[in-house]
Structure 1
Amino acid sequence: MPEIYERHLTFTGNNLGRETTIMFTFDAPRKGMYKNFYPIVWRVCTFGKEGSYSMKASYTSQLAFLKTQVEDGSIIDAATCVNINLSCRKAKKTILTQDDEEVFHFSEPVPCEEGFMEAENKTGSVQDLAIGFVSPGELFPTPAHYYNDLGDGSTAVAATFTPKLRAYITSDYQESAILRSAIHTPCIFEYDLASLAENTTWNLTFDHRNGYKVSKADRQH
């Protein structure tokens, strides 16, 4: 299995001149997005008009499938989950079932032939699933992409996941909200987290000529 890595990001803002809400999600365009699966809002943070502010966010490359619970368009909980990653370029597959007590179970992931990470629904009814990542110190994984209305038996989730994080200036979304369509405000930050150092700091700035900008701080480690 490829080595599991962590990425810790700090975003700072100082005297922005206006109250500013920044939203982070993994919504880089991919085939099937907003049709077969939907991005989920990861983090939302509001920086004040005056003074210094910061937000920390941590990601690990340990991926997981989740049986999600959805309310009012947001992921509110997970009934169960299972860790899953590509291993030596071999695909991995897990199966979701439901026992006589109506308890959900993911099977232990096994190699498959398709070249993706897969979660198949064999519960006997339509289910909602998500793929996400295991955040440090959290009991359940953080959902990143959502798959809804997966039929029994013939429908499966097939997913590869590249952690390309994007940021937008918008107050229209809450954390864990499911994005049903593309965000219309400009993206101001886009990085594949795998390409970054373990710890990075980023400065959010604003001026009336250039608008908002996120730039890497000079001192990194």
Structure 2
Amino acid sequence: MAKKGASRWRLRFAALAILLALAGGAALWWHLRGWQPSRQQWPVQGVEVGAEDGTIDWTAMKTIGVDFAYVDASASVFARDANFTANLEGARAVGMQVGAVHEYDPCQPADKQAANFVTVVPRDSRLLPSAVSLDRLAENCPGKVTEAGVESELTTFLNQVETHTGKPVILKLSAKFQDRYRVASAVNRNLWLVRTRLEPDYAGRPWTLWTANGGLQTEAAEKPLRWLAVQR
């Protein structure tokens, strides 16, 4: 009987622990829905948006404190964001500065990716420095791509894009891409790092842009926003 009683208590404690963990997770989720970095520490804040975010109310964006926007433009060699032009024009209409984002694919040739980007993004000195999203790894490429090959092709892509835009790009660098290819130390460009709620430090050097909350709920968009902060 004593063993059965002890077993029941262990089950109860286990159930309680699960309930507490679920409650803690729910509380964290609720907190992050509305969390933004301190304006005192990071006074300039913005968003990254694309077609996946649905229709954007840019007047509402301005009202909730968006200072600038990065707009998804292209990915790999063929993909183009269907809302790029609408988002670019919408942000500018309310007086925001805007930049374009390309999602880089290490499996595809640099020159073809650059051609895709320059077809979508106009040569316009008013644009913020373009951003290159580095998140996809080369492990699943049809042919073997070495680390040296990734760095070489990326350098080619950056040179071609910068020739088009007239400005150095900013590297939107994920933790997994940095861990695999150590781009932050190999490529001398400003960094855009990603880590919800906690200030990122995985690049080993200072960052310029930070995706501080990847799921901020607002009235300005149909879906949660990717919220950005600028390092002073």
Normalised TM-score (structure 1): 0.24
Normalised TM-score (structure 2): 0.23
The structure with the larger Rg is 2
Q: Tell me which of the two structures has the higher relative contact order, counting C-alpha pairs closer than 8 angstroms and 6 or more residues apart.
A: 1
More strand by proportion, 1 or 2?
1
More helix by proportion, 1 or 2?
2
